[in-house]
Amino acid sequence: MAEFFEMPQASPTMETGTLLAWKKAEGDSLAPQDVLAEVETDKAAMEIEVFDSGYLLKILAEEGDQIPAGQPIAILGSSADEDISELMAKYEAIKAGASTPSPTPAPSAQSTPSAAPATPAAAPATPAQTGLQPFTWQGKAIHSSIMEMPSFSVGLPETSSPGMIAPGGKVRSSPAARAAGRAKGIDLSRVQGTGPRGRVTRADVLRTAAGVPLAQPAAAPAPPPRAVPLPTAGPNDTVVRNSQMRKTIAKRLKAAASDAPVFFLTATLDCDALVAFRTQLKAEGTGVSYNDIVIQACARALRDVPEVNAAWADENIILRGQVDIGVAVALPGGLITPVIRDADKKALPEISKEIRALAGRAREQKLAPEEYTGSTFTISNLGMKKIDQFTAILNPPEACILAVGAMQQQPIVKDGELAIGWQMKVTLTCDHRVVDGALGADFLAAVRQYIENPSSL
């Protein structure tokens, strides 16, 4: 039986995907795990596989198109000569619904549950309750206030109307509503339901019997004008199209900068012992970088000060049960943060090997979603770029991010004498809703302890 093949949602933050290339042509046969297309998500380029045998009957999207997650991009079938006229008609309706603005606000998980298809014939190919299932991470529920929620643009259900008929010809209604209808002598097909998917409730029947009209939702206010107008390109300018990664970076960091009240703590760390420690490891055949040592020092410090390994969730603060450190890796189109899981439990050589493997796959845009999502703390290191000191923007929903500057020799005072020593500046960006100044200082003191006494690692 022919069916739509939809744009998959490859990561929790993905809203749209760019179709880079089709790997199959119309009419080609398909086997399980065949690569159908290559898609650019907000984080990486990935190959889309099919799970069943069949045929590619129709391609619905062109290479280079940006398609919302959940919208059909192809039609697959079990035989090469299947009739797809009905699916094509549904697809045209979906495209028309996605491109034509609706006069009423689209329903969401936070709105009054009064949405349902207008008639069975006009129902979109997607389920009646179009939207996302609740997000989880490693089996734990994620609060909606700390998770960026993608939205669909694929023919959302319209506002319900009287006479909402369920499959089988019956009015969607509760048992109490049917009993009230019989007692009041009211035909339920004339009652406008306000329950889930337009279901008629007892309150709807009593409201109709009393002749009270259903209150209409207020019109959405017009968006305020932009304080700063968007720039326009001049004749000598070059316009570079924003990738999905760059759009996601802009959206997430704008939200972080506007929503979270942040402050910054900077510390200067003495690194003479760190340089000697790494030199010794290198002489013993253990190749680790300074960044590897910083990762392990932060992981141990998060274990010592667990209140920093946390996130804000409006009604509560979530203290993370694992120390999963994201490490910022620069890419040609932006940056990504591969995650070292349980970093506080891993030895230096293990961290070094893992971060090199993850960074290599990141630069090739081959990271799996679980390899770059779900970090509890992030480290951004620009020391290799000879940056002395900088501040980093939070990586939502984390409470802190550490910016690491260059390690360099400086004139310092030791025991009242002028000397030359290795120093490094680090700056901790803190979400003040979660981490206060004293708590952030305690964390940096723990980091200092491990950096200035690396043998304790």
- Going from N- to C-terminal start, the domains of the chain cover 3-146, 244-456
Segment 100-106 shows an average pLDDT of: 46
Q: Is the pLDDT of residue 212 over 80?
A: no
d(CA 69, CA 48) in angstroms, rounded, equals 13
Q: Give the tens place of pLDDT for each residue, 339-356.
A: 999 999 999 999 999 999
Predicted confidence band of residue 435 (pLDDT cuts 50, 70, 90): very high
Note the pTM of the prediction, 2 decimals: 0.56
The pLDDT value given to residue 421: 94
The pLDDT value given to residue 220: 65
The hierarchical CATH code for the domain 3-146 is: 2.40.50.100
Q: Give the tens place of pLDDT for each residue, 150-197.
A: 434 444 444 445 555 655 557 777 778 888 888 888 888 888 888 776
Q: At 300, is the secondary structure helix, strand, or coil?
A: helix
Predicted confidence band of residue 200 (pLDDT cuts 50, 70, 90): confident
The architecture of the domain spanning 244-456 is: 2-Layer Sandwich (3.30)
Predicted confidence band of residue 203 (pLDDT cuts 50, 70, 90): confident
Q: Give the tens place of pLDDT for each residue, 365-420.
A: 888 888 999 999 999 999 999 999 999 999 888 999 999 999 999 999 888 899 99
Predicted confidence band of residue 97 (pLDDT cuts 50, 70, 90): confident
Q: Is the pLDDT of residue 208 over 90?
A: no
Active site residues per annotation: 432
The pLDDT value given to residue 163: 53
Least confident of 9-23, 69-83, 95-109, 429-443: 95-109
Cis-peptide into 411, omega within 30 deg: no
d(CA 149, CA 329) in angstroms, rounded, equals 24
Burial readout 358-367 (b: 16 or more C-beta within 10 A, e: otherwise): bbebbeebeb
> What are the distances in angstroms from CA 330 to CA 288, 337, 393, 425, 438?
20, 9, 15, 20, 32
Segment 295-322 shows an average pLDDT of: 95
The pLDDT value given to residue 407: 94
Give percent of the chain with pLDDT exceeding 70: 79
Q: Is the pLDDT of residue 304 over 50?
A: yes
More confident residue, 95 or 291: 291
**Total number of residues shown for the chain:** 457
Q: Is the pLDDT of residue 129 over 50?
A: no
Give percent of the chain with pLDDT exceeding 90: 36
Put the strands of the sheet holding 45-49 in their side by side order: 45-49, 35-40, 16-22, 66-68
Find the helix or strand (DSSP H, E) in which 445 lies. Answer: helix 437-452
Q: Is the pLDDT of residue 145 over 50?
A: no
